[in-house]
């Protein structure tokens, strides 16, 4: 079997054949947020099917496309769709977009997702800056023999999300007059949404929002020593004592309405990178 590094070199070669720039930032767009890629001055697009070693994506609200181009004068790649564990992907495959971003030369990762709010102060349509994470997927993309060229055997996770980028994001939210919570993202395997008891547990163990993605990507990004900014759209609230039903389509509809806030933050963070080369 091909080693991860070899696989990524092959994937990156195919991207480079279509796009000559070296990206500084990679963006992973979650459920209902793929439209953010429209902000990019597109220079190349690749379907995941064209990228060697990439699995297919089956999740709703995910196009399965890589968009390469310029955003506010910075070369970026954006993934419209990610690989979830609940689709049957091993955790290592969930981190392939991050490995490709790193292989292409970017040192900054922006991840977005849809999540259920468990902090009672959160409302549907709010956006949360992810300031820390809990992995309850019982899987980790780094399980297996470690490739020391890619990163250390035991990566530090004391500060997975970059404090400077979080500050920039917070100031953009203030300037644009919207609430940007800061909280802990709990990753569950899915694909079921949580029971009332599980939402209650999530809150008790210190989570502010619950989702089914992102953590494997952020683990791989920290392994690769990338700077990470993460944001969750609160598409539903999991309140144990006033239960309401959740569906995938409702989640995507709300995520779309919150997209302008994420777009504003992403523009601002990219512009701050542009002014600090
Ligand atoms: N739980 C898990 N994943 C989610 C949720 C949720 O409530 N909402 C959107 N993604």
- Closest atom of ligand 1 relative to the 211 alpha carbon: 3
Q: How many whole angstroms from 84 Cα to the centroid of ligand 1? A: 13
Q: Provide the token pair at 49.
A: 């099917």
CATH ID of 4-274, from 3.40.1170.60, 3.40.920.10, 3.30.428.10, 3.40.50.1580:
3.40.50.1580
For this structure, is 276 an active site residue? no
Q: Which of 86, 146, 239, 272 is catalytic?
A: 86
- Closest atom of ligand 1 relative to the 236 alpha carbon: 8
Mean pLDDT of all residues in 138-142: 97
Write the DSSP string, 189-229.
Answer: --SSPPPHHHHHHHHHTT-SEEESSSHHHHHHHHHTT-EEE
For this structure, is 236 an active site residue? yes
For residues 236-263, b (16+ Cβ closer than 10 Å) or e, as one string? bbbbbeeeeeeebeebbebbbebbebbe
Note the pTM of the prediction, 2 decimals.
0.95
User: Quick one: pLDDT at residue 61?
Assistant: 60
Residue 103 in contact with ligand 1 by CB distance below 6 A? no
Which pLDDT tens digit goes with each residue over 37-46? 899 999 999 9
Give the containing element (helix H, strand E) for 275: helix 248-275
User: Quick one: pLDDT at residue 62?
Assistant: 63
Residue from 168, 162, 146 nearest 222 by CA: 162
**How far is residue 200's CA from residue 207's CA, in Å, rounded to a whole number?**
10
pLDDT greater than 80 at residue 10 = yes
Q: How do beta strands 227-237 and 108-117 pair?
A: parallel
Q: How many whole angstroms from 271 Cα to the centroid of ligand 1? A: 30
pLDDT greater than 90 at residue 236 = yes
Q: Which of 84, 166, 207, 231 is catalytic?
A: 84
Q: What is the mean pLDDT of the chain?
A: 93
Residue 269 in contact with ligand 1 by CB distance below 6 A? no
pLDDT confidence of 256, banded at 50, 70, 90? confident
Residue with tokens 């696989």: 7
Locate the domains of the chain by residue range: 4-274
Write the DSSP string, 3-55.
Answer: -HHHHHHHHHHHHHHH--PPPSEEEEE-TT-GGGGGGSEEEEEEEGGGSTTPP
User: Quick one: pLDDT at residue 255?
Assistant: 75
**How far is residue 266's CA from residue 277's CA, in Å, rounded to a whole number?**
17
pLDDT greater than 90 at residue 173 = yes
Q: Which of 31, 89, 113, 119 is catalytic?
A: 31
């Amino acid at each position: 079997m091909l080693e991860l590094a070899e696989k990524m070199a092959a994937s990156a070669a195919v991207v480079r054949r279509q796009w000559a720039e070296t990206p500084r930032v990679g963006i992973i767009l979650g459920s209902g947020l793929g439209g953010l890629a429209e902000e990019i001055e597109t220079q190349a697009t690749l379907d995941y099917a064209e990228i060697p070693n990439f699995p297919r994506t089956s999740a709703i609200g995910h196009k399965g496309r890589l968009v390469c181009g310029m955003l506010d004068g910075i070369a970026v790649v954006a993934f419209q769709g990610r690989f979830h564990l609940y689709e049957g992907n091993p955790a290592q495959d969930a981190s392939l977009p991050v490995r490709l971003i790193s292989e292409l030369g970017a040192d900054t990762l922006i991840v977005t997702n849809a999540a259920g709010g468990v902090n009672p102060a959160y409302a549907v349509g709010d956006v949360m800056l992810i300031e820390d994470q809990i992995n309850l997927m019982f899987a980790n993309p780094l399980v297996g023999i470690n490739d020391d060229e890619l990163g250390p055997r035991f990566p530090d996770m004391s500060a997975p999300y970059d404090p400077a980028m979080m500050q920039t994001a917070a100031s953009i939210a203030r300037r644009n007059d919207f609430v940007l919570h800061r909280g802990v993202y709990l990753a569950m395997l899915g694909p079921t949404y949580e029971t009332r008891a599980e939402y209650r547990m999530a809150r008790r163990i210190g989570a502010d929002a619950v989702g089914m993605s992102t953590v494997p990507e952020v683990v791989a990004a920290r392994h690769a020593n990338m700077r990470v900014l993460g944001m969750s759209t609160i598409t539903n609230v999991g309140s144990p004592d006033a239960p309401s039903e959740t569906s995938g389509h409702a989640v995507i509809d709300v995520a779309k309405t919150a997209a302008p806030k994420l777009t504003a933050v992403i523009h601002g963070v990219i512009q701050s990178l542009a002014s600090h080369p």
